[in-house]
Amino acid sequence: MTGTSALVLFSGGQDSTTCLAWALSRFDRVETVGFDYGQRHRVELDARPALLAAIKAMRWKGTLGSDCVLPIDLFRAIGGTALTDDVAIAMAADGLPTTFVPARNLIFLNAAAALGYRRGISDLVGGMCETDFSGYPDCRDETIQATAKALSLGLARETRIHTPLMWIDKAATWKLAEDLGGKALVDLIIGGTVTCYNGDLTPHDWGRGCGTCPSCDLRAKGYDGYRAA
């Protein structure tokens, strides 16, 4: 893509860091946005500045521009999820894990689109994935594309949502990071990102985390698959 800009939904985790590298490989200018939504694992927000500085120092097709963190406190007010409340991580009666935050991605995408509108950016990039997504309905491709259509109508201009991880598993996500940024990016993801639901920073060969929550388990198994390939 030439003469284009993108806005990446950047949490400070493995998936969004890989998506940021993907965007920098395809767009001329890339900006980032994070969300402070009262998450218990908000240590991920603390990881973002160092990650952005390290990525900016790498060589990419595009240029890494400004970053913004938007406060969205309604999820804590609504409550009922293990990511904002003192709730055990388990399967709920509705068949979804208690880590599901209802409509989180929909609200994130709407907020990002509003920011992009002010910045003159119509391309959003997110780490939503239908392969390793714990059953979250707001991670499905159909949901994301419907959101893009609604945003295009509501903003009276086309809004495109790119999801480079949508159809790949965690092992392939590790491989994508290697393809995009080599060992340097893989090492940065291992040592610098936070993807743990508990916000634990204990180091492992696959990254930092508690090692027992579903997010850590998925990441560790994906890393093993990546190394074995």
List, as one string, the DSSP characters of 179-212: HHHHHHHHHHHHHH-B--TT----EETTEES-SS
pLDDT, position 3 = 58
pLDDT, position 142 = 96
Q: Assess contact for 43 and 67: CB atoms under 8 A.
A: no
pLDDT, position 2 = 47
pLDDT, position 43 = 94
Residue located via tokens 């949502």 = 161
CB neighbours of 179 closer than 8 A, spacing ≥ 6? none
Instruction: Please give the DSSP secondary-structure letter assigned to residue 5.
Output: E
Q: With 90 as the cut, is the pLDDT of residue 60 above it?
A: yes
- For the segment 104-128, the average pLDDT, to the nearest whole number, is 97
Please tell me the distance from the alpha carbon of residue 204 to that of residue 220, in angstroms, as a whole number.
9
CB neighbours of 73 closer than 8 A, spacing ≥ 6? 36, 37, 38
One-letter amino acid for residue 108 of the chain: F
CATH code for residues 5-228: 3.40.50.620
Q: Assess contact for 220 and 211: CB atoms under 8 A.
A: yes
Per-residue pLDDT tens digits for 154-209 = 999 999 999 999 999 999 999 999 999 999 999 999 999 999 999 999 999 999 99
- Greater model confidence, 80 or 52: 52
**Mean pLDDT, the chain, whole residue set:** 94
pLDDT, position 91 = 82
Give this prediction's pTM. Answer: 0.96
Q: With 50 as the cut, is the pLDDT of residue 63 above it?
A: yes
**First vs last C-alpha separation in the chain:** 31
pLDDT, position 1 = 52
Per-residue pLDDT tens digits for 10-23 = 999 999 999 999 99
Per-residue pLDDT tens digits for 68-104 = 999 998 999 999 999 999 998 888 888 788 889 999 9
Residues of the chain with pLDDT > 90, as a percent, come to: 87
List, as one string, the DSSP characters of 30-90: EEEEEEE---TTTHHHHHHHHHHHHHHHS--SSEEEEEEEEE--HHHHH--STTTSS---S
Q: What SS3 state is found at 145?
A: helix
Please tell me the distance from the alpha carbon of residue 176 to that of residue 164, in angstroms, as a whole number.
9
- Greater model confidence, 2 or 219: 219
Per-residue pLDDT tens digits for 129-166 = 998 766 899 999 999 999 999 999 999 999 999 999 99
| Residue ranges covered by each domain of the chain | 5-228
